[in-house]
Structure 1
Amino acid sequence: MTAMPLRHTLAICLALLLLAGCQRDQADTAAAPATGAAAGQGQDADAPGDRDAGDAQPAAPGEAADAPASSEEFPALVVTTLDGARYDLAERRGRWVVVNFWATWCAPCLKEMPELSALDALREHVEVIGLAYEETDADTLRAFLARHPVVYPVAIVRTYEPPADFPTPRGLPLTVLVAPDGRRVKTFLGPVTALELEQAIEAAGGPAPGEGA
């Protein structure tokens, strides 16, 4: 007499457990796309919070006139270099500009500086501007560059006041390639070689590596 109620009770409990498991699986499946998108944003260098750090390609001919210009697409940069000169990115139209955030304490930055210097010296269509992203003073930085000379201009950028139109560096070095029309083309987080920069220039419609000297 007592066996049947017990079997019924066990069967009901098992059914409830299976139902709960199915509901949980369905909830996990529904939540998966949102979780994946959030994770992707965290790893993407182009996350909106960074304003751009990535692979935005220049618009095709005729498109730029239709799209409103913005500081994200066409960044402004006005700084005073160590030699006291005014550097205005807007005045560099017609050339590919490599904007390189670096620091004296950054070993990968120091490793890539000779290549950036050679690129600036050997390619007439390319120029480099170095932004020392650290708390230092002009005399200290001049002394450092006397030991690690480069041919391109260098300016100090305060870490608490980075250029508003560029992504705030999450690591160094950070290098931004700007096209001759002033459009931000590509951003490299981490060391970059002269060849990689020339390949990015070619991909964006510029001269091939080794050309345009």
Structure 2
Amino acid sequence: MPKNWKVPLIIIVIMFAVLAASFILPGRQGNKVLAPAFTLPVLDGGQVSLASLKGQVVVLNFWATWCPYCVAEMEELDAAAGRLADRGLKVLAINIMQRETEAGIRAFLGNKEHNYLVLLDHDSRVARSYGVGGIPTTFIIDRQGQIRRVKQGPLGPGELDNLVKDLL
């Protein structure tokens, strides 16, 4: 057997693991799966629990300031959050806190008011409980607390509106 057999074998094992995960992670096939509960600190003070938002359509957007795709979608996320708030939409931008500080996040966001809450996932525990493998990743949770959609990658113009329109 050639000396370099380990590298292709490892690649094949990783490919099968990713394929298997795509079938078992919550919400990946449009299944209605109860969203994992959490309580996280808000950047501006206080805490938010997912349970306290039951009855609203909740958007969880996992992001970081160093992620160019996350930065690209922030304006769209903010605009949609403002546009759809009166219809029962709550947007939570959950910073995964990898290579981040609260001061850095505040500096990134500036003094502008936002239509979403910025939550701090200090140890990425919540991101792991949702099976987030890359950012940005957005979860749409219905009024009953079930994951209805998962969007991996940045949101395009008007895309969030389309993802939630039948849930509002």
- Normalization by structure 2: what TM-score? 0.76
After superposition, what is the alpha-carbon deviation per residue over 1:53-102, rounded to whole angstroms, capped at 9, x for unaligned?
A: 524244xxxxxxxxxxxxx5232121011111211111112211110000
**What does 1:1-213 align with in structure 2 at a 5 Å threshold?**
42-43=18-19, 46-48=22-24, 51-58=25-32, 73-123=34-84, 124=86, 125-133=88-96, 134-146=98-110, 150-159=114-123, 161-163=125-127, 165-167=129-131, 169-193=132-156, 195-202=158-165, 205-207=166-168
Task: Give unpaired runs (5+ residues) of structure 1.
Answer: 1-37, 59-71, 208-213
After superposition, give the CA deviation of every residue in 1:24-63 in whole Å (9 maximum; x if it has no partner). Answer: xxxxxxxxxxxxxx96763476333xx32524244xxxxx
Structure whose residues are more often strand by fraction: 2
Question: Which entry has the higher C-alpha Rg, 1 or 2?
Answer: 1
Note if contact 1:176-1:184 (Cα within 8 Å) is conserved in structure 2: yes
Greater relative contact order (Cα < 8 A, sep 6+): 2
Report if aligned partners of 1:54, 1:188 keep a CA contact under 8 Å in 2.
Answer: no
1:178–1:44: structure 2 CA closer, same or farther, 3 Å change rule? farther
Report the residue type matching 1:156 in the other structure: L
1:179–1:137 distance in 2 versus 1, CA, 3 Å? same
User: Structure 1 159/86 Cα, relative in aligned 2: closer, same or farther at 3 Å?
Assistant: closer
- Is the contact made by 1:98 and 1:129 (CA closer than 8 Å) also made in structure 2? yes
Q: Does the Cα contact within 8 Å between 2:38 and 2:126 map onto a contact in 1? A: no
* Contact kept in structure 1, 2:42 and 2:119, CA below 8 Å: yes
Q: For the aligned residues, what is the CA RMSD?
A: 2.6
Could you tell me whether the CA contact under 8 Å between 1:79 and 1:155 is conserved in 2? yes
Q: Which runs of 5+ in 2 are unaligned?
A: 1-13
How many aligned positions are there?
152
Structure 2 residue identity aligned to 1:87: V
* 8 Å Cα contact 1:116-1:194 kept in structure 2: no
